[in-house]
Structure 1
Amino acid sequence: MAPIVLFTYKRPEALARTIEALQRNEGARESVLYVFSDGARAAQDAAAVAEVRAYLRGISGFRQIFIKEAPTNKGLAASVIDGVTEVIREHGRVIVLEDDLVTAPNFLAFMNAALDAYAGDPRVFSVSGYTLPVRAAGDVYFTQRASSWGWATWADRWSSVDWAVEDYAQFSRDALARRRFNRIGSDLSDSLRKQMEGRIHSWAIRWVYNQFKQDKLSVFPTLSKVINIGFDGGATHTRRGQAGRFSTELDRGGALSWNFTEPTLDPSTVKQFAAYYSLPVRLKYKLIQWLPS
């Protein structure tokens, strides 16, 4: 079983739902859980961080639990990069969650099965537990864009990433490369630019950019094993307007075996997937974000 790596900050209620769902997973009691608790960014966050840490000390239901409490605030991007690097160095593979993700009872089974199925296939960059409500044949499908909502990968893929994005100056001058990058989402080149300008701090955009550079695929379930419950005022990187855009049904079927097909791109599925990141759809939900609740 791959270790589970969970990142948390200051939302004890959402964290409790995440943990409780994980505890109900097939394979939880055989899994090692690492929890990385970030330090308070501001004085007003200290009480919530302390509440999170008090809750974590009482959890059970896993083979082993390691709680890592950062003494100061690192931010999500640095926490994920450092935490995943630490755990994957020891275990060779990881399953990663944040504290606003509720999983289906077969999430761990799916992630571990996919990790086993594609471990020896370098074409597959990552495994996603979350999926958009696209129509796809079979148990899984593939895209060129990883998801950060319940995902997994292997040490060789993780170590291949250039987190500094050393070739960004060249990429920023290459209009064709930017258009190619944006084929799987009109937001990508702009998000990478903001990251490099220091306007956002995102590990995920750098992860997806490195996937693009290496021409790799991510595997998704056709039935989502994850839903995001983090669309509220306490969320760090999600907003209310995104809730409808990324809403999906959680898998309730309970399957514990899947047919893992050859990694190929189905044009119809990729078109459906990319549509959720198209400019018209993004503008629609940005408007919803600013409407009165």
Structure 2
Amino acid sequence: MQTPITFIIFNRSQKTEKVFEAIRQAKPKKLFVIADGPRSNREGEAEKCEETRAIIERVDWECEVIKNYADLNLGCAKRVSSGLDWVFNNVEETIILEDDCIPHPTFFRFSEELLEKYRYDTRIATISAQNVQFGRKRTNYSYYFSRYNHCWGWASWRRAWQHYDLTMKLWKEVQEENLLHDILIDPKAVNSWRRIFQSVYDNPTGITWDYQWTFACWMQGSLSIIPNVNLISNVGVGADATHFNSKQKFSFINMSMEAIEFPLKHPLFIVRNIEADIFTQKTVYKATALDILKEELKKKLNYSTVKK
């Protein structure tokens, strides 16, 4: 495989091993590995981080392994964003996987072909593995275009990532000009994303980096490529998860996967699928950052209910 793969790991060796095996089957010639350091207040985490990093030493195919390991814990937002800055300073394009996102084998070829096809098309910012249409076929082609850039298995170019800003400096002006309305139209969606972006803007180095990526793509009017079948399964729910560590009923976690067929059938147009995006907004993004924070508050304070 010619396209570099970027692998983001931390302290979950069992999950990391499963994704590593998928990468091993793809046999990339270049592998970038981003790892955060252990938290000083978590007993035994240093050992878990070392155990997880040791998996990377098992590369047994012809591959240049390039590591960016933090000695101290930077947190999810800083570690992922700074790590991807480092990757895109070294290469023009890459496929990106986190330690809890197991890809279907066909995702690699899917990404590689589309990275080449849209390499110089600035209308496209990202290629996603995730499809959250739950079996609904939105197109007769192999993929459709969306405003949502799902990050559970994705690929992109330096030309797109250069617009990323962890601190979202443009948010104040976007708020003042009410630009989210121009992007989203639907008032409920506007209110939901306004809460999300405001929460991230107020704490940009918190636990998330991907909402800032969505914001950057929207500010450039960019589209994402979504496969017509789901090519990724997130297995990250559990006590050791950063975002989904309670028994939240997110139906898009642990989704089944399906092979995408080759040769790919490319759309003859670049127009986003509004029907698919409306469905995505109503299913995935109804679970806003506020909802997640409320779940965490309920767990920490042992509340039986949290008033919405």
TM-score by length of 2: 0.83
Alpha-carbon distance in structure 2 between the residues aligned to 1:87 and 1:150: 16
Contact 2:151 2:210 in 1 (8 A): yes
Moved more, 212-221 or 158-167: 158-167
**1:135 equivalent in structure 2:** 137
Contact 1:23 1:62 in 2 (8 A): no
**2:154 equivalent in structure 1:** 151
Alpha-carbon distance in structure 2 between the residues aligned to 1:233 and 1:37: 19
Which amino acid is 2:220 matched to?
Q
Q: 1:201 to 1:97 in 2, by over 3 A?
A: same
Contact 1:102 1:227 in 2 (8 A): yes
Contact 2:3 2:28 in 1 (8 A): no
Alpha-carbon distance in structure 2 between the residues aligned to 1:37 and 1:278: 28
Alpha-carbon distance in structure 1 between the residues aligned to 2:107 and 2:124: 19
Which amino acid is 1:14 matched to?
K
Write the deviation string for residues 77-123 of structure 1: whole angstroms up to 9, x where unpaired.
Answer: 22222222222222201111110011111111011111111112111
SS where residue 87 of structure 2 aligns?
A: helix
Alpha-carbon distance in structure 1 between the residues aligned to 2:50 and 2:89: 29
Establish whether residue 166 from structure 1 lines up as the match of residue 208 from structure 2.
Answer: no
**1:52 equivalent in structure 2:** 52
Establish whether residue 250 from structure 1 lines up as the match of residue 248 from structure 2.
Answer: no
Write the deviation string for residues 142-162 of structure 1: whole angstroms up to 9, x where unpaired.
Answer: 111211111111111111233
Q: RMSD in angstroms over aligned alpha carbons?
A: 2.7
**2:65 equivalent in structure 1:** 65
Which amino acid is 1:228 matched to?
N
Alpha-carbon distance in structure 1 between the residues aligned to 2:28 and 2:46: 33
1:168 to partner: Cα distance: 2.0
Alpha-carbon distance in structure 2 between the residues aligned to 1:219 and 1:185: 22
Q: 1:190 aligns with which of 195, 198, 212?
A: 195
**1:18 equivalent in structure 2:** 19
Alpha-carbon distance in structure 1 between the residues aligned to 2:63 and 2:241: 29
**1:40 equivalent in structure 2:** 38
Contact 1:56 1:67 in 2 (8 A): no
1:70 to partner: Cα distance: 1.1
Q: 1:275 aligns with which of 269, 282, 285?
A: 282
**1:266 equivalent in structure 2:** 273
Contact 1:128 1:147 in 2 (8 A): yes
Contact 1:110 1:257 in 2 (8 A): no
Which amino acid is 1:266 matched to?
N
Which amino acid is 1:157 matched to?
A
Write the deviation string for residues 41-77 of structure 1: whole angstroms up to 9, x where unpaired.
Answer: 1342212112112222223345222233211111222
**2:29 equivalent in structure 1:** 31
Alpha-carbon distance in structure 1 between the residues aligned to 2:122 and 2:21: 34
Q: 1:180 to 1:237 in 2, by over 3 A?
A: farther
SS where residue 51 of structure 1 aligns?
A: helix
Which amino acid is 2:270 matched to?
P
TM-score by length of 1: 0.86
Alpha-carbon distance in structure 2 between the residues aligned to 1:5 and 1:51: 19
Moved more, 142-151 or 257-266: 257-266
Q: 1:217 aligns with which of 212, 218, 223?
A: 223
Contact 2:233 2:257 in 1 (8 A): yes
Identity fraction in percent: 19
Contact 1:3 1:34 in 2 (8 A): yes
Alpha-carbon distance in structure 1 between the residues aligned to 2:31 and 2:158: 17
1:35 to partner: Cα distance: 1.1
1:282 to partner: Cα distance: 6.2
Matches within 5 A, 1:92-131: 92-131=92-131
SS where residue 7 of structure 2 aligns?
A: strand
Which amino acid is 1:75 matched to?
G
Establish whether residue 231 from structure 1 lines up as the match of residue 233 from structure 2.
Answer: no
